[in-house]
Amino acid sequence: MTEGRGTGSRALRGAAAAALGVAVLVTAGPGLAQPAAADPAAPARPAASDARKVMELGTGWRFLFGDVPDSVRTPEFDDSRWEQVSLPHSWNRMGNYAPVRAEGSDVRQGTGWYRMRLGEVALPRGKRAILQFDGVGAIADLWVNGQHVGQHKGAFSRFRFDISDHLKPGQANIIVVRADNSKPEKGSSTEHVIPLGGDFFIHGGLYRGVSLIEVDAASIDLMDHGGPGIYVSTPSVTPEKAEVAVLTRLRNSGQKARKLAVVTRIADADGRTVASASGPARRLGPGETSELTTPLSLTNPRLWQGRSDPYLYSVTVELRDGARVIDSVTEPLGVRSFAWDADQGFILNGKPMRLHGASRHQDWQGKGWALTAEDHATDMAIMAEMGVNTVRHAHYQHAQEWSDLADRNGMVVKAELPFVHQSAFDESLPAPELVANARQQLLELIRQNYNHPSIMLWSVGNEIDIGAAIAALMKGGKGAPAKSRDMLVELNALAKQEDSTRPTLYADCCEGTPSPLARPGAQVLNDITDVVGLNRYFGWYYGQPQDLSRALTSLRSRYPDRPMAVTEYGAGGAFSQHTDNPLGGPVNANGRPHPEEFQAWVHEQNWKVLKQANFLSTSWIWNMFDFASTSREEGEAYDLNDKGLVSYDRKTRKDAFYFYKAQWSEEPVLHLTGRRYIDRAYPVLDVRAYSNAPRASLTVNGQAIGTVDCPDRICVWPGVRLRAGDNQIAASAERGGKALTDSLTWTAPDSANGLHVRAGHLTGQTTSAGLRFGSDNFFTGGKASELRMAGRTRIAPSNVTGTTDPELYASYRQGAFTYDLPLPDGRWTVTLHLFEPETDAAKAAARSMTVRANGKPVLTGFNPAKAGGGSLKAVTHRFDVTSSGGLKLDFSGGDGGAVVSAISVSPAR
């Protein structure tokens, strides 16, 4: 569908095409070509440079959150009692692995004030002072020496102010910044600033860097929506030659006309000039802007080949006044062509490439958004370790340091506009001010990131109708759908106008799925952008994982000519919550618990579908890392979305991480799962490992269990028996001549004490008498009960009476089913925990259960309501049985089926 990189604007593209004699721009990125000889006609570099100077303003700031007097803006204000802070800085901290919000969390939204004394700024004659902010959450106002310089709305993009005329020579200069991350709502300061909502928190503060740039009054344009001022494209790329177009925008902020020349050079990764060109001097009047396009070419270019060879050239543009270099900018160049195709998926440099990766949010535990370069590097290293070859920037513009890492690591990137969740606070059309802000942020996104070869998609929206759908759901299904389509159409057109060479994408939440958020009469949004993006959570929020295949096929038939991507899928996973069988019961996706094993199972099943959908261009896991989302009380966490494959502090990888590492990484992998489920409920279990070796062997306490094949990179040793107490589990394999080992320790109960199974539930329970039940396991058939919700996230307490342990009766398995309990040979007492869940008297009276133990009837024509004295009354039934080779319990019950809440097997007395 689309090749190469665009040039930043229609005028830019036209100029480039005219200069190169081509009609269509094809993006090429950094590539290592056989180095071409430098142009002998290129002018020699001048001996001296008077280019721009940059001073980082990372220290010396004072900070206060909350209301302040108007005098705070003036130089005389006393801020000596304010907190001393360094940048990057945010006042927000949230997200912890506990059922309540941690002490020290800071979820305040409002205004934070920053002050800095610059001291005496000796601005040379003919120079300008530009103050650059790399990111402020979410509205920034700037005062210099008491004068308001300007305002910027949007939490994620870089912006600059020319403060030259506000500085006072020979005296201290005071900078005051107000950062405002007020909650978006009607009447608030952020009412018309995207995003209006979403499953992430807008951190307040100067959370990225601030710098002071001293530059000549005539310069490469610093005021072009925060962009670099030079925009590099590759209109044509072949193995033999790459055509390069460099558009340069100039600005003269001085009081007199200047005669200026531009020299452009391409250097290889070793810094050697491989192409250069210079243009004649041109006049630039005071207050004028201008742009020019310089054509260059590379012979035998070395291509940017993604993860296998992310080779980068660099492009440097020098602005000269006579022999003097008065400004200079260097940007990356990745020489590559690419396309998104409806049938072949993603194509890089003429070859189809299946992309698989994850989304990434930019916050860390204890730091929020205030990340260092080292933090970004850690995130990239973890993603590369897992074998990711594409990254989704969720759901906003990420730091330049991060995108630089993506360039150097060969990641294919989808960069996103923060048009998320909703376009209005009610059922009205988006406000014109909101649309204008979205347009501004989209321009900033594209201009500032245009030169990154890794970026190959612009996302112009994500689930923009889901806010209205959730609101309607909370009102019992009442409420009109969102009216977001026109805004999305306008933004898509703007993205295409700015950069026609990169395709656009919209990430849809609901069309064609069984989600309760699919609203009747909802506007169709998937036919607007070039690529259809699908956020689908089969097996988590709705449906079963295998439903994903049917949904993808249906949507492909609806949009056969559009490339398709799965932009989100996944499940939550807790480190301290576990299940013995992920099929044992329903998960409370919006609450607790979130067993780690269930998360891994959802990913196993979803990936089985995704890897077979050959028409998909890419898929992105949601999410790479746990991230902050206020008021979530899920899994084991608070204020966290726990769908990450890695912990919020980046220290612990979940089992699902190793599943994908085994699927995607070239590094040999062998990982035993369930290592955090140390204290086991059962002495018999299936041992599982993820490995990209063809087969693996297992020992338990030094005894060989056997060697198994690892189909789909999953190795399973079924029915492994553990001894009472600690057990040493060790796996071994070989891949590519490398020996692999992994080991862990599990503590098991004594099998001589029997088994206790909690039916229909993903997790176990310890009763008031201290008897431990494991989660539902060892079953075949039947259906687990649905969760009874007290609210959106909270499970209602058990309504079964007549027991000191009502929660043991909070779930059940129903229908015709069998339990094969792996008991040692011997004499056992079986206790069935039963109740009648049906409150309709006629249906309750009609139930007639039969239970057979090893083929012999032990319960016939049993009616739980009659035995318990009514529905929702706990009742138990006991019987003795002799086991030989285990115990098989068969449950049946006619139309209503059998019902059991728990099975307890203890030694007979």
Q: Which class is domain 684-748? A: mainly beta
C-alpha distances (whole Å) from 856 to each of 819, 830, 884, 906 are 14, 14, 14, 19
Contact 571, 540 (CB under 8 A): yes
Residue 44 has pLDDT above 50, yes or no: no
Tell me the C-alpha distance between 693 and 674, whole Å: 19
* Largest interatomic CA distance in the chain: 105
CA 322, chain centre distance (Å): 50
Over range 130-158, report the average pLDDT. Answer: 98
With a pLDDT cut of 90, the percent of the chain lying above it is 88
For the chain, give every residue range classified as CATH 2.60.40.10. 10-52+220-336, 684-748
Which range, of 334-338, 511-515, 802-806, 904-908, averages the lowest pLDDT?
A: 511-515
CB 435 within 8 A of CB 490: yes
Residue 324: pLDDT band (50, 70, 90) is very high
Tokens in use for 147?
A: 């004068």
| Confidence tier at 66 by pLDDT (50, 70, 90) | very high
The yes-or-no verdict on residue 4 having pLDDT over 60 is: no
Neighbouring residues of 359: CB distance < 8 A, sequence distance ≥ 6: 391, 392, 393, 394, 567, 568, 620, 621, 622, 623, 624
Cα(507)–Cα(504) distance, rounded to whole angstroms?
10
Contact indicator for 369, 363 with CB cutoff of 8 Å: yes
Question: What are 609-628's pLDDT values in tens digits?
Answer: 999 999 999 999 999 999 99
8 Å CB contact between 27 and 334: no
Query: Quick one: CATH architecture of 752-907?
Result: Sandwich (2.60)
Res. 689 pLDDT band, cuts 50 70 90: very high
pTM for the full predicted model: 0.93
Q: How far is CA 6 from CA 2, 208, 224, 349, in A?
A: 10, 27, 16, 16
pLDDT at 478: 80
Using DSSP bridges, classify how beta strands 738-748 and 725-735 pair: parallel, antiparallel or unpaired. Answer: antiparallel
pLDDT of the residue at 592: 96
Q: Which fold is adopted by the domain 58-208?
A: Jelly Rolls (2.60.120)
Q: What number of other Cβ atoms are within 10 A of residue 832's Cβ?
A: 25
Average pLDDT over residues 525-544: 96
Residue 54, token pair as written in the block: 């940059």
Give dist(CA 165, CA 254) in Å, integer: 12
Predicted confidence (pLDDT) at residue 539 exceeds the cutoff of 50: yes
In 3D space, the residue among 219, 421, 454 whose CA is nearest the CA of residue 336 turns out to be 454
- Tokens 């009692």: give the residue: 81
The dihedrals phi and psi of 343, each to the nearest 5 degrees, come to -105, -40
For residues 585 and 582, what is the distance between their CA atoms, to the nearest angstrom? 7
Please give the distance of CA 544 from its chain centroid, rounded to a whole number: 22
Reply yes or no on whether the pLDDT at 855 is more than 80. Answer: yes
The angle formed by the CA atoms of residues 68, 164 and 205, to the nearest 5 degrees, is 35
Closest CA to 657 of 627, 621, 692, 687: 621
pLDDT-derived band of residue 521, with 50, 70 and 90 as boundaries? confident
pLDDT digits (tens, 9 = 90+) for 542-570: 999 999 999 999 999 999 999 999 999 99
When computed from its CA atoms, the radius of gyration of the chain, rounded to whole angstroms, is 32
Looking at the predicted structure, is the pLDDT value of residue 37 above 50? Answer: no
DSSP class of residue 271 equals S
Q: What is the mean pLDDT of residues 324-340?
A: 97
Q: Do residues 267 and 289 lie in contact, with contact meaning Cβ atoms separated by under 8 Å?
A: no
Query: How confident is residue 438, by pLDDT bands cut at 50, 70 and 90?
Result: very high
Mean pLDDT is lowest, of 205-209, 348-352, 513-517, for: 513-517
3-state DSSP of 145-210: CCEEEEEEECCCCCEEEECHHHCCCCCCEEEEEEEECCCCCCCCCCCCCCCCCCCCCCCCECCCCE
pLDDT of residue 10: 35
Residue 12 has pLDDT above 70, yes or no: no
Residue 77 has pLDDT above 90, yes or no: yes
DSSP 8-state symbol, 293: E
Of the candidate CATH numbers 3.40.50.150, 3.20.20.80, 1.10.357.10, 3.40.50.720, the domain formed by 357-637 belongs to 3.20.20.80
Using the predicted structure, report yes or no on whether residue 49 has a pLDDT greater than 60.
Answer: no
pLDDT for 43 equals 34
CATH 2.60.120.430-classified regions of the chain: 752-907
pLDDT of 808 reads 98
Q: In the CATH hierarchy, which fold is given to the domain comprising 10-52+220-336?
A: Immunoglobulin-like (2.60.40)
Band of residue 391 on the pLDDT scale cut at 50, 70, 90:
very high
Compute the average pLDDT of residues 402-421: 98
User: What's the number of CA atoms in the CB half-sphere (13 Å) around residue 508?
Assistant: 27
DSSP string, 415-469: EE---BS-S-SSSSPPPHHHHHHHHHHHHHHHHHHTT-TTEEEEEEEESTTHHHH
Per-residue pLDDT band for 27 (boundaries 50, 70, 90) equals very low
The single residue listed with the structure tokens 């203890």 is: 906
Q: With 50 as the cut, is the pLDDT of residue 46 above it?
A: no
Residue 31 has pLDDT above 60, yes or no: no
Which candidate, 538, 540, 665, places its Cα nearest to that of 613?
Answer: 538
Is residue 698 a contact partner of residue 731, using CB atoms and an 8 Å limit?
Answer: yes
Residue 631 pLDDT exceeds 50: yes
**CA–CA gap between residue 350 and residue 368 (Å, rounded):** 41
The pLDDT of residue 50 is 65
- Residue 894 confidence class, pLDDT cut points 50, 70, 90: confident
C-alpha 622/C-alpha 602 separation (Å) is 12
Instruction: Tell me which DSSP letter residue 308 carries.
Output: G
Q: How confident is the model at residue 601 (pLDDT cuts 50, 70, 90)?
A: very high
Give the closest residue to 262 by CA, choosing from 244, 242, 282.
282
Catalytic site residues?
463
DSSP 654-693: -HHHHHHHHHH-SS--EEES-TT--B-S-SEEEEEEEESS
- In this prediction, residues 245-249 reach a mean pLDDT of 97
- 14 pLDDT exceeds 70? no
